[in-house]
Amino acid sequence: MNKGILSGIGAYLMWGFFPIYFKALSAVPALQIMFNRVVWSFLFLSILILLRAEWPRFKAVARQPRNLLIYALSAVLLATNWLVYIYGVNAGQVIETSLGYFINPLLNVLLGVIFLRERLRPLQWLPVGMAAAGVAYLTAQYGALPWIALALAFSFGFYGLIKKVAPLGALHGLTLETAILFLPALAYLLLVQSQGSGAYGQLGWNVTLLLAISGVLTALPLLMFANAARSIPLSLLGLLQYIAPTCQFLLGVYLYGEPFSQSQLVGFAIIWSALLIFWVEGALNNRRRAARVAPA
């Protein structure tokens, strides 16, 4: 098994087991966890750039107005995604957070059609419609939109759309995003700490340590993912991406004992079936394409 596959599996497994980490911080308000993640990520990523002697180049691209505008928007989307995910996990909605990331690949396809003028093959419309039907079914059963799942899917979907056309690589892009959020995040954390409602020194050394390592835990899977994306086929990477929501779903059901009714199972099964059809159709199309270009 090559390093790219191992990097991809490692990244998605880390994301898949994130609920355990955030559950350990359940005594900390979600907004504080998110801003801690921003602050410590920026510090960790800045050290990486310094060690790679890339700081002058990073400063040059970070000062360009176009880059600042693009990454300010992606930073807001990323922070929204982090906040909703942390809230969902600590509100006992791990299953619904997994639903967001099961929906996300099909939403990415739809965003590509709408904003990038990509064309879907006729059979690809079927799983997209099935996913919409699955969400509609779950909405009818809940009596309300599964807003956590949809917020995660749409925030990460639009984040991915921006990153697809953004000019910087993974390391510099994430560093710029966290740099844009750094001062507001630091100011907020200092404010709540001065008011006596901050987590540091209030909830024990273990919570302080977990907050401090959030930067490494945020950046490491992203860097592993970037390595995998460069070295293995996109089709394989697309298959690996289901590791994370599958792990989250299993944690929600079996570790945290969240209720999972028969009606929820039906809704999830529709979306899982859509993903399976989408993947099989893509694999068959790639095989036909490879056969056409192969030498006789």
Note whether residue 193 is domain-resident. Answer: yes
With the CA atoms of 265, 110, 37 and 65 taken in that order, what torsion angle do they form, in degrees rounded to the nearest 10? -170
pLDDT of residue 7: 86
At 294, is the pLDDT very low, low, confident or very high (cuts 50, 70, 90)?
low
Residue range 45-55: mean pLDDT, rounded: 95
Above 70 in pLDDT, residue 293? no
Note whether residue 295 is domain-resident. Answer: no
pLDDT of residue 245: 92
Note whether residue 284 is domain-resident. Answer: yes
Above 60 in pLDDT, residue 296? no
Residue range 60-83: mean pLDDT, rounded: 94
At 3, is the pLDDT very low, low, confident or very high (cuts 50, 70, 90)?
confident
Note whether residue 146 is domain-resident. Answer: yes
**High-pLDDT (> 90) share of the chain, %:** 53
Residue range 58-84: mean pLDDT, rounded: 94
pLDDT of residue 107: 86
247 or 200: whose pLDDT is higher? 247
Whether the CB-CB separation of 218 and 34 falls below 8 Å is answered with no
263, 269, 249, 264: which is closest to 101 by C-alpha?
Answer: 249
At 254, is the pLDDT very low, low, confident or very high (cuts 50, 70, 90)?
very high
Specify the 3-state DSSP secondary structure of 31: helix
Say how many domains are in the chain. 1
Under DSSP, the state recorded for 167 is S
Q: Provide the mean pLDDT of the chain.
A: 88
Give residue 274's domain range.
3-289
Measured over the CA atoms of residue 169, residue 2, residue 233 and residue 239, the dihedral's sign is: negative
Q: Is the pTM of this model over 0.85?
A: yes
Note whether residue 187 is domain-resident. Answer: yes
Residue range 94-115: mean pLDDT, rounded: 88
Note whether residue 53 is domain-resident. Answer: yes
Above 70 in pLDDT, residue 236? no
pLDDT of residue 55: 94
Six token digits for residue 190: 């200092």
Distance CA 203, CA 36 (A): 15
pLDDT of residue 83: 96
Note whether residue 208 is domain-resident. Answer: yes
Residue range 154-172: mean pLDDT, rounded: 87
Distance CA 129, CA 106 (A): 9
Note whether residue 15 is domain-resident. Answer: yes
